[in-house]
Homo-oligomer: A and B are copies of this chain.
Amino acid sequence: MSARTTGQVRVVGTGLLGTSIGLGLSSLAVDVVLDDVSPATLALAVDYGAGRPTKPADAPALVVVAVPPDVTADVVAAELARYPEALVTDVASVKAGPLAALEAAGAATDRYLGGHPMAGRERGGPIAGRADLFLGRPWVITPHAGSRPEHAAVLEALALDLGAVPVRLAADRHDDAVAVVSHAPQLVSSLLAARLVDAPDHATDLAGQGLRDTTRIAASDPTLWVEILSANAARILPILTDLRDDLDAVLDALADPSARGARRALADVLAAGNDGVARIPGKHGVDLRTTTMVVLVDDRPGQIARLLTEIGELGVNLEDMRLEHSPGAPIGIVEIAVAPEVAGGLEADLRGRGWRIA
């Protein structure tokens, strides 16, 4: 595969994202030069193959600023000044603030175009970097009044080179979107998981898949998330304020569940939750309805593989799949989702092959 990206690319900040970008582009033979405030971090990224250190004579066509959100605007401004011919982008997970700061500072924002690759890992630093970190993930590009269409094409080429899916969205709309689909869920998951800290063992021993799913992202890195949440606080606040209002109604209902209207208040919240889930699109970014079926397998090596092999032999593509946990049980429950038009035939075929289907 040859790169769509042309010219030299300079990556400033060789943490997880910067190193991953360097690794991905270097694997396509793009000329990548690196920089970092920490010489040790820079040296590590170079050792990992993310690129070479920047030299004074380098003249990048594209600068990717991959530093923490709170210093993104300052570093972008410095890069715009240092390389007067280059397009400068960033990867911060909030976008309106840095743009406003650059405009206020009189930076050359006609050469700035923000980006947000929606990828990450629990671990950070260059050691966690990987060339395929962005595979299949949205890479939001945020055009603004002063940006140039040809620059959006450059960032789209970058995103595609790294296997990501480019999405154009104004900075305000991006920040509104991530507040509701990412930042509020993070805080709510953390608030829920915090309830387990003092829960007795006999309670956590009964934890099922519902609890695991609702609290999974509560394992995320607090330091990084404090930055993100602080930077987008104004957009998260109204969402969680609305949630608090609904929560207050729930608390009132729980305080006197036999009062007139109490059950209705609970039902309203539960029904609104149903409606909200229905808004989440399917796997391929469209509202693809899938049909789910549950298959029971023995909990030993090869059983799930055999199931999926047979599904593959039947020519059916899985849209989703999930293993369910069962404390102490020798049985695995595999929930698979397939396109509705093939579900009936698949179920019959699998039953015919002896699978137990719920």
**Partner-B contacts on A (CB < 8 A):** 118, 121, 130, 132-133, 135-138, 140, 163, 165, 167, 169, 173, 176-178, 180-182, 184-197, 199-200, 202-208, 210-220, 222-223, 225-226, 229-231, 233-234, 236-237, 239-244, 246-248, 250-251, 253-255, 257-258, 262-263, 266-267, 269-285, 296, 299-313, 315-318, 320-333, 356, 358
The answer to whether B281 and A195 have CB atoms under 8 Å apart is no
Apart from A214-B217, A282-B325, 11 more pairs, CB < 8 Å: A137-B208, A181-B206, A182-B210, A193-B274, A215-B280, A218-B270, A233-B253, A237-B251, A240-B251, A285-B327, A302-B313
Report which residue of A185, A192, A237, A302 has the largest number of chain B beta carbons within 10 angstroms of its beta carbon: A192
- Can you list 27 contacts pairing A with B, beta carbon distance less than 8 Å? A136-B330, A136-B332, A165-B327, A165-B329, A177-B203, A178-B203, A180-B196, A181-B206, A182-B211, A184-B192, A185-B210, A185-B211, A187-B250, A188-B188, A190-B273, A192-B276, A194-B275, A197-B279, A210-B216, A213-B216, A226-B263, A233-B254, A237-B254, A240-B250, A244-B247, A301-B316, A306-B309
The one of B180, B215, B330, B332 that contacts A199, using a Cβ cutoff of 8 Å: B180
- Which residue of B has the minimal Cβ distance to A302? B312
The answer to whether B240 and A277 have CB atoms under 8 Å apart is no
Write out the residue numbers on chain B whose beta carbons fall within 8 Å of the beta carbon of A300: 317
